[in-house]
Copies of this chain bind each other. A is one copy, B any other.
Amino acid sequence: MPADALNAALLPAGLHDVLPSEAAHEAVAVERLLAEFAAHGYRRVDPPLVEFEENLLSGAGAAMAKQTFRVMDPHSQRMMAVRADITPQIVRIATTRLANEPRPLRLCYAGPVLRVNGSQLRPERQFTQVGVELIGASEPDSDAEVVLLAVQALSAIGVPHLSVDLCVPKMVERICAGLGLPDDEIRALRAALDRKDVAAVAEVGGPAAALLETLMSASGPADRAIRALTAVELPEEAELDRRRLTSALAVIRAAMPTLTVTIDLVEHRGFGYQTGLSFTVFSRDVGEVGQGGRYQAGVGKERSTGFTLYMDYILPAIPVAAAPTRVFVPHGTPWTVAAGLRADGWVTVAGLAPVTDAVAEAKRLQCGHRLADGVVHPVE
């Protein structure tokens, strides 16, 4: 078996070892993201890898039930689930342990999740989620805050050419319900919209047809979409969605005037539990890098929003920091001398025994420099 195939066979499909430079790359990016969240007042929490199944897979977590590994807890004789998503854990912490903390409650997190199956687009079964939750906040400014924070944090780690697509996943249903359409027609319309099938929308749309066609054709650049939405008459609940969307967009525009923002007025896929303004962040060359939106947290249905960034999508998009400069420190160099080099920012690689050719040894150990006679020399 060739070395690559042998290596791949060592691990189950969709699981991999993160090797030297890549592991440092990911760690630096994650810490930088968390530092941005912290600077905006988001405090880090770190839930465990496993929890009782019924806690992890209730509410927002229910969608992940089929993607979740279970193990028996020998202590309680109850089933535990290995987390496939961190958001439900943060919601649990916010609404139980931190129920008495003042609202809005800003929390952030980073950690690995494990899934039973990869997908064709994403064969990985373990990846790192990094995100924030803004719990107990209903204002359009809170919708804007998380969009801006996602973009700001991704920019800070060097993700290039960012754009944001806003949507309100429940708006179509609210329009149809507001116009008195029965549930089965709403489902047929939803399917037609998902196919972007204009003819079918016209056919089954009834009183909503014209309005939905307008929304479909108005999707695109944010300002145009808002103008189109303002020009039509909307049922009451959808009109509230429009006002919130308009307010949040104004805050986003004021903060980041050059950010590319689009609005998809009929999108809802991938936003199963979102109840209000939702969004996807894209980087031009790699596609989707994060997703978030408004939801109701816990049994008390606290109005909340947040986002999750996926490190496996993000890392290919960002520049790798220059490898640190390694200096070979020959055997017998006093500890204080090597410590002095480290204090100056060098990575020291100690010789563990005398060698006759220090230059060759430095090269062999992948050092670009070596210490000789108390001075650091480059190694050609």
With contact pairs A74-B116, A96-B7, A97-B7 given, residues A26 and B39 touching in the complex (Cβ less than 8 Å):
no
Copies of this chain assembled into the complex:
2
Check B16 against A353 for contact (C-beta < 8 Å). Answer: no
Distance in angstroms from A67 CB to nearest chain B CB is 11
Q: Pick the contact of A139: B7, B21, B352 (CB < 8 A).
A: B352
Tell me whether A39 and B70 are in contact in the complex, defined as CB-CB below 8 angstroms, given that A48-B15, A76-B13 are known contacts.
Answer: no
Residues of B within 8 A of A334 (CB): 254-255
Cβ of A46 and Cβ of B17 under 8 Å apart? yes
**Stretch with Cβ within 8 A of B (4 or more), from A98-106, A189-197, A237-245:** A98-106
A45 CB contact (under 8 Å) in B18, B347, B348: B18
Check A114 for interface membership: any CB of B closer than 8 A: yes
Provide the A71-83 mask, 1 if CB < 8 A to any CB of B, else 0. 1011110101010
Inter-chain CA distance A148–B145, complex, in Å, is 46
How far is A137 from B75 in the complex, measured between Cα atoms in Å? 42
Interfacial chain B residues near A98, Cβ < 8 Å: 19
Taking CB atoms and an 8 Å cut-off, the chain A residues in 1-60 that contact chain B are: 6-7, 10-21, 23-24, 26-27, 31, 34, 38-41, 43-52, 55
Residue A174 lies at the interface, judged by CB distance under 8 Å to chain B: no
Given A76-B12, A82-B71, A254-B335, A17-B352 contact (CB < 8 Å): no
